[in-house]
């Protein structure tokens, strides 16, 4: 069973990048899925939707394949 949401750290692990790289990706890539907070406090955990991450990754692969062809 696939997760519905993944934490910031799990997203880093899935993409094999560090936290700073993920933060920059969020800031500079408008196509990257937006994180959402689960709560209203400053310390509330941040999550990403797993399906959105997979869709973004597949789109990146497709765009890369088109550029090589």
Give the CATH number of the domain where residue 56 resides. 1.10.1660
CA angle at residue 31 from 27 to 36, to 5 degrees? 65
CA atoms of 8 and 37, how far apart (whole Å): 10
Q: What is the pLDDT of residue 54?
A: 95
Instruction: Residue 53: count other Cβ atoms within 10 Å of its Cβ.
Output: 19
> What pTM value is reported for the model?
0.84
Q: pLDDT 10s digit of each residue in the chain, 69 long?
A: 778 999 999 999 999 999 999 999 999 999 999 999 988 998 999 999 999 999 999 999 988 877 765
Boundaries of domain holding 34: 5-68
Cα angle vertex 43, ends 41, 48, to 5°? 95
Tokens at residue 48, please? 């990403």
Number of domains composing the chain: 1
């Amino acid at each position: 069973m696939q997760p519905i949401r993944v934490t910031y750290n799990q997203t880093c692990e899935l993409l094999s990048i560090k936290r700073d790289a993920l933060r920059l990706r969020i800031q500079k890539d408008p196509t990257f899925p937006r994180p959402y907070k689960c709560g209203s406090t400053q310390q509330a955990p941040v999550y990403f939707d797993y399906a959105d991450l997979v869709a973004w990754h597949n789109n990146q692969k497709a765009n890369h394949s088109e550029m090589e062809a």
